[in-house]
Structure 1
Amino acid sequence: MNVEVIQLTKRYGSTLAVDAIDLKIPSGAYCCLLGPSGCGKTTTLRMIGGHEAVSSGAVVIGPRAVGDAPPSERGTAMMFQSYALFPHLTCRDNVAFSLRMRGVAKAERRTKADAMLDLVQMGHLADRLPAQLSGGQQQRVALARALVTGPKVLLLDEPLSALDPFLRVRMRVELKRIQAELGLTFIHVTHSQEEAMALSDLVVVMNGGKIEQAGDPRTVFERPASAFVARFIGGHNVIALPEGKVAVRADRMRLGADPGAGAVQARVLAVEYQGASVQVALEADGMTEPGGLSAVLDDATFAGRPLAPGDRVALGWDPDAAHRLDA
């Protein structure tokens, strides 16, 4: 089901948390709301789901504006950052709980709960209590519980933040599989650029209650709309030139002989080995960008001409690697 917000605004007293944003999310899309803490992404998610009152503007889900409709009447389900499973109920009963509250017969709710647990690959642990599960297993049960009522839109509030890095990658794969299999619209709040790039069809970068840029992951990464997006998405240097600011990807910076356009002398500040690549932090003459500059070299290139902190090196880039920024 498609979701649209129109001039959506949220105020807390004199604080403007979400500032008249417009956004269209196509039916069946995986959308990630991405941004730093306090940017308004979770508040936006909660207003879409009816868990937060709208100050002004509209939320449209499918063919109708939902206005003040309660969460149960919006065709949405929320998966919260805290899984909040009932400790005294088995996995099956946790998943079936919302069906029980709706008066669904015991046999039917058991069948539906078991089907959802199978979908998230937890059917073999249906009779366990939450305390007997790992964090990743609890997350799968919480996901099954959110899906069992048959929502058209699933809202996820930083669902992977409590997991270790290895499990986070595995669960990203699972979320994408389940979303594609069910054909649902997923709206997923995250502060992780990597997570948003890996999961989404539509990335929405928020800052200060506004949308800085919305687009497919490749477009947002390759062509950031502003200096904020370039810096927040990561992997870019924001460079002030006489004709205006540009963003240049760190892996397209050139070091050493014949460094390319805009060549300057730079000093190596730090070298960080990352396996397949090496990240070199640099301080360039005449450039005082926050956080300095960086270049990413593949391991073989770095091994052929290693650098160490304190080394001086020529730094530049190919002209077509520079993307002009609007702001």
Structure 2
Amino acid sequence: MRGASVELVRVSKHYGNAVAVDAIDLHVPAGQYCCLLGPSGCGKTSTLRMIAGHETISDGDILIGSRNVSELPPAARGTAMMFQSYALFPHLNCLDNVAFGLRMRGVAKAERRERAAAMLRLVHMENYAGRLPSQLSGGQQQRVALARALVTEPSVLLLDEPLSALDPFLRVQVRAELKRLQAELGITFIHVTHSQEEAMALSDLVVVMNGGRIEQAAEARAVFTRPATPFVARFIGGHNVVDVPGGAGPIAVRTDRLRVLPGTVPGLIPARVAMVEYQGSFVQLRLDAGPLGELVAILPDNSFDAAPLREGEAVSLGWDGAEAHPLHGNNAPARVPVLEEN
């Protein structure tokens, strides 16, 4: 199998007067794992379905490799879709479920069963070939659906929230399996999710969507450490978005970089501890910073245990100057209270 690049050029989707996707541009290089990330209604599933050909585009073009596929039916695009519900045929066993797409393409019975068996081995489900979907766990059904999508040798695999029905422990296991398969096969994966953790763990390219538009598209570390907009900073999590009086615009400060000192320290931001939440290896503090609103600080559990804080206690907040990341592309230095390194 070989991956193909995917390019969207000013792609829009309208449902009557409602705009689901608003003139987006996106390039996914061949062989990359891309996650479309965002809240419900942001346009990520509509985007995926337009790439697959299950939704017509209202405007723009979709290119897979060097071909403009905007007007092609799903079967002619070189893509395969793995649905959120898995959509396995209940009356067919695992082997026949996987072979079904090849059967529809007229592949001879012996060949399609051989190729289906090879795909079941790839996803470690060869011992379940004769079972019906009702005899499988959710994670096993997910693997069979993945094998069925891959057996037609697509250049692009499209996944619509494939892990959402799994319990947290199994979700981590299957997530690792998806990453392994994508790296081993070298095809392009485009995966819709609302889980920030899922996108961070899987992606070569994270595309954060909001209101039908792309807020940021970058590799996972860049999206987390340097969010482009206040929405990205808040949605990805792990950041405080601060509008500091006298500053050059909103800034993002990571919650684990916010410094919290007991009492009142001149020149720093006065605040009060609103809530203390123990999270095992760390403690999360919710802090009432008056006109700046609620800020969050993450402290390692041993640091907090050495100098515990109680709800209602007065504290002072600051951060190292380099930790203030300007948003909206504003590169001017923010005039904010900072703590210099000792």
Q: TM-score range by the shorter chain?
A: over 0.9
Structure 2 residue aligned with 1:69: 72
Structure 1 residue aligned with 2:328: 326
Following TM superposition, the consecutive aligned residue runs of length 4 or more in structure 1 with deviations greater than 3 angstroms are: 257-262
Q: Deviations over 1:290-324 (max 9, x none)?
A: xx210000111011111222222111111111101
CA contact (8 A) 2:216 2:228 kept: yes
Q: For 1:259 and 1:68, how far apart are their aligned partners in 2?
A: 65
Q: Which structure 2 residues correspond to residues 219-234 of structure 1 after superposition, within 5 A?
A: 219-234=222-237
Unaligned runs of 5+ in 2: 330-342
Unaligned runs of 5+ in 1: none
Q: Per the alignment, do residues 86 and 271 of structure 1 end up closer, same or farther by CA in structure 2, a change over 3 Å counting?
A: same
| SS state at 1:251 partner | coil
TM-superposed deviation, 1:263:
1.7
Match of 1:122 among 121, 125, 136: 125
Q: For 1:262 and 1:214, how far apart are their aligned partners in 2?
A: 37
Structure 2 residue aligned with 1:314: 316
Q: For 1:321 and 1:261, how far apart are their aligned partners in 2?
A: 20
In the alignment, does 2:276 pair up with 1:274?
A: no
TM-superposed deviation, 1:257:
5.3
In the alignment, does 2:159 pair up with 1:161?
A: no
Structure 2 residue aligned with 1:285: 290
- The normalised TM-score by structure 1 is 0.97
CA contact (8 A) 1:78 1:156 kept: yes
Structure 1 residue aligned with 2:60: 57
TM-superposed deviation, 1:151:
0.2
TM-superposed deviation, 1:260:
9.2
Structure 1 residue aligned with 2:5: 2
Aligned residues: 324
TM-superposed deviation, 1:271:
1.5
Q: For 1:262 and 1:60, how far apart are their aligned partners in 2?
A: 55
Structure 1 residue aligned with 2:193: 190
Q: Deviations over 1:122-157 (max 9, x none)?
A: 111111111111000000000000000000000000
- The normalised TM-score by structure 2 is 0.92
| Corresponding letter in the other structure for 1:32 | C
Structure 2 residue aligned with 1:16: 19
Q: For 2:109 and 2:282, how far apart are their aligned partners in 1?
A: 55
Q: For 1:210 and 1:271, how far apart are their aligned partners in 2?
A: 36
Q: For 1:125 and 1:206, how far apart are their aligned partners in 2?
A: 38
Structure 2 residue aligned with 1:83: 86
TM-superposed deviation, 1:276:
1.2
CA contact (8 A) 1:238 1:247 kept: yes
Q: For 1:26 and 1:250, how far apart are their aligned partners in 2?
A: 32
Q: For 2:65 and 2:256, how far apart are their aligned partners in 1?
A: 42
Q: For 2:215 and 2:282, how far apart are their aligned partners in 1?
A: 30
Q: For 1:262 and 1:77, how far apart are their aligned partners in 2?
A: 58
Q: Per the alignment, do residues 312 and 97 of structure 1 end up closer, same or farther by CA in structure 2, a change over 3 Å counting?
A: same
| Corresponding letter in the other structure for 1:122 | M
TM-superposed deviation, 1:258:
9.9
